[in-house]
Amino acid sequence: MKAPRLQPTLRLDARGVAKVLGDLEARVMLALWDIECDAPARSIFERVAREHPVQLLTVITVLNKLVAKGLVKRKRRDGLLHFSARYSRAEFDVYVSRRLVEGVLGFSRDLVTASLVDVLAETDPDALEELARLVQARLAEEEGK
């Protein structure tokens, strides 16, 4: 995956992909992922405008910014510019998750690791068990090398 250009900061108070994108950029990306094919700007605008008051030209500007960031592809078809997500939602989530963990571990590996375990224990014990399983599998894999 060629690295898209994302803002180097994380918005802790935002939800989902808006943590690493602007709010409207996130809405546009979600619309593109929902559409799952090339679409003209107006179709993307109509999908975004169902839940968020926005102007067509604003959506076009955001689409062009997302093209510059490497997140969206743009091509001309039937005299109109069509846009599509360069990466699937799953590919984007994997990339961002890895970058997030790399960045957070640069803060204090021991404290972040302990905090992750504590937060999972408090909020999602099943996820904590899954983490333990993944750690054990990785350790066994490393021993086998």
Q: Count CB neighbours of 3 within 10 A.
A: 8
What is the pLDDT of the chain when averaged over all its residues? Answer: 93
- Give the helix ranges, DSSP H, for the chain: 23-35, 41-49, 56-68, 89-105, 109-123, 125-143
Determine the pLDDT at residue 144.
87
Residues of the chain with pLDDT under 50: none
pLDDT of residue 106: 85
pTM of the model: 0.84
* CATH 1.10.10.10 is right for the domain spanning 16-85: yes
**Position 79, amino acid:** G
C-alpha–C-alpha distance, residues 71 and 66, integer Å: 5
d(CA 62, CA 67): 9
Which tokens is 79 given?
A: 């005299």
CA distance 140 to 134: 10
The per-residue pLDDT for range 47-81, each reduced to its tens digit, is 999 999 999 999 999 999 999 999 999 999 989 99
Which of 111, 62, 110, 66 has the alpha carbon at shortest distance from 85? 66
pLDDT at 67: 97
**pLDDT for 1:** 73
